[in-house]
Amino acid sequence: MTQNIKPEFIPNRGAGKQLYIETYGCQMNRGDSEVVVSILSEYGYQYAEDIAQADVILVNTCSVRDNAEQRIWGRLNEFKIHKKRKPSLLIGVIGCMAERLKDELIEREPIVDVVAGPDAYRDLPRLLSDAASGARGVNVMLSREETYAEISPIRLDKNGVSAFVSIMRGCDNMCSYCVVPFTRGRERSRDPQTIMSEVKDLFARGYREVTLLGQNVNSYKYGEIGFPELMAMVAEVSPLLRVRFATSHPKDLSDRLIECIASHPNICRAIHLPAQSGSTRMLELMNRKYTRQWYLDRIAAIKRAIPDCAITTDLIAGFCTETEDDHQDTLSLMNEVGYASAFMFKYSERPQAYAARKMVDDIPEQEKIRRLNEIIELQTNLSLENNRRDVGKEFEVLIEGESKRDKEYLCGRTSQNKMAVFPGKGYKAGDYVKVYVDDCSAATLIAHIVE
């Protein structure tokens, strides 16, 4: 088992070496990169912000769609300049693409020295040490237990206000389009005591927002403790600590979870609930385990209990056999729910997934693009409408820092996870302020501080 490797058996090759890490894909990967930096720092590696300084480059990769992988191949090609300049430079591919392609990565791309899957990060010190002696290495063993429970991640997001806390890993759902069960393995939940000590430590260090992360965050279960219990424990650390979570599966969005959110003002009024499609026929082919009506009933339950909750989603256009009627069902679902925002994709066939093995990717590319564009256009209008309803209202905002566009402005999020920008002399990151919304775009609320 990779997690049994004892540090003393690995030559300490990291001392003084500069480690640069680039992260693609979902928030889980961002959380994992922080774990990886923590593991390697125990062996003397130092985190470098500048790639030109690097002795080791790690790319934490995503396989969810083909274009995510194509980007990584392009990036590996660009790293060749650095390797030419510094032949001792080591390059590692980690994460989902490492898991999916295994040895093929090393065979296809000679500049790759190390390949490590999402459950093999404790083995990175050994893999890098071997690679420094010229032995390229692969560890893509998946585990049923690994949660990196006791590792204290080194925060790479420098705002010092919000942090990711990984609480479970893997996915047992087997949606037919998805490669994640093959790259991330089976579901397993992290010991709540280690989660609580990580959260308490973050709060003591000035962090004011934690996002509990998992591929299927709301199927968290550790002994008697389910996701609502865990969220309540985290929320009770302090009323000044905001709690978010991602990503949830509609099938596990229980009434208890809704009640838990409703009864804790510091659990944010924002639920990301990927629908994928508005057509029951498509949902069945996708193996989503719910119907359109069941999904809409969950939405109604959320709206009843938490009227000010923002609901966001993921949607896929052009899955196998999708008809114009199915597509129209997705558009009408979007209108019915009134999503605050959405991540929207066209279907990309993934070799290991069930659909690639058993179904035909039969919607022409041009048609997928047309449907996706219609979905995007509708969502832009829905986001704008949704934001317009906030104009003239007050919201509590947690300040994250200066606005990227204009240094005179600060930015921060509302509980609904909407970004607000406002002039804010005298305030700093981590402060809570009440703002009044004067105007908006589809992406941002424009506001001023009232208190």
Supply the minimum distance, in Å, between the C-beta of residue 164 and ligand SF4.
12
The residue number with the shortest CB distance to ligand SF4 is 25
Distance CA 160, CA 138 (A): 34
Find tokens 């909750």 and name the residue. 309
Burial of 71 (0-12, 13-18, 19+ CB in 10 A): middle
Give residues with Cβ within 8 angstroms of 226, minimum separation 6. 220, 256
Burial of 366 (0-12, 13-18, 19+ CB in 10 A): exposed
Q: Which helix (H) or strand (E) holds 271?
A: strand 270-272
Residue from the set 10, 26, 165, 258 that interacts with ligand SF4 by CB under 6 A = 26
Task: Return the one option of ligand SF4, ligand 5AD, none that residue 25 interacts with (CB less than 5 to 8 A, by type).
Answer: ligand SF4
**276 is a contact residue toward ligand 5AD (CB under 6 A):** yes
- Residue list 158-197, contact with ligand SF4 (CB under 6 A): 180, 183-184
Residue from the set 2, 18, 29, 129 that interacts with ligand SF4 by CB under 6 A = 29
Distance CA 196, CA 165 (A): 10
Supply the minimum distance, in Å, between the C-beta of residue 258 and ligand SF4.
25
Task: Return the one option of ligand 5AD, ligand SF4, none that residue 274 interacts with (CB less than 5 to 8 A, by type).
Answer: ligand 5AD
Number of residues that bind ligand 5AD (CB under 6 A): 12
Cβ proximity to ligand SF4: between 184 and 298 the closer is: 184
Q: What are phi and psi of 189, to 5 degrees?
A: -110, 150
Task: Return the one option of ligand SF4, ligand 5AD, none that residue 276 interacts with (CB less than 5 to 8 A, by type).
Answer: ligand 5AD
**63 is a contact residue toward ligand SF4 (CB under 6 A):** yes
**217 is a contact residue toward ligand SF4 (CB under 6 A):** no
Q: How does DSSP assign 73-104, residue by residue?
A: HHHHHHTHHHHHH-TT-EEEEEEHHHHHHTHH
Supply the minimum distance, in Å, between the C-beta of residue 295 and ligand 5AD.
14
Distance CA 237, CA 441 (A): 35
What are the helix (H) ranges across 113-156?
124-132
- Residue list 339-378, contact with ligand 5AD (CB under 6 A): 345, 347-348, 350
Task: Return the one option of ligand SF4, ligand 5AD, none that residue 348 interacts with (CB less than 5 to 8 A, by type).
Answer: ligand 5AD
Residue from the set 19, 35, 91, 96 that interacts with ligand SF4 by CB under 6 A = 96
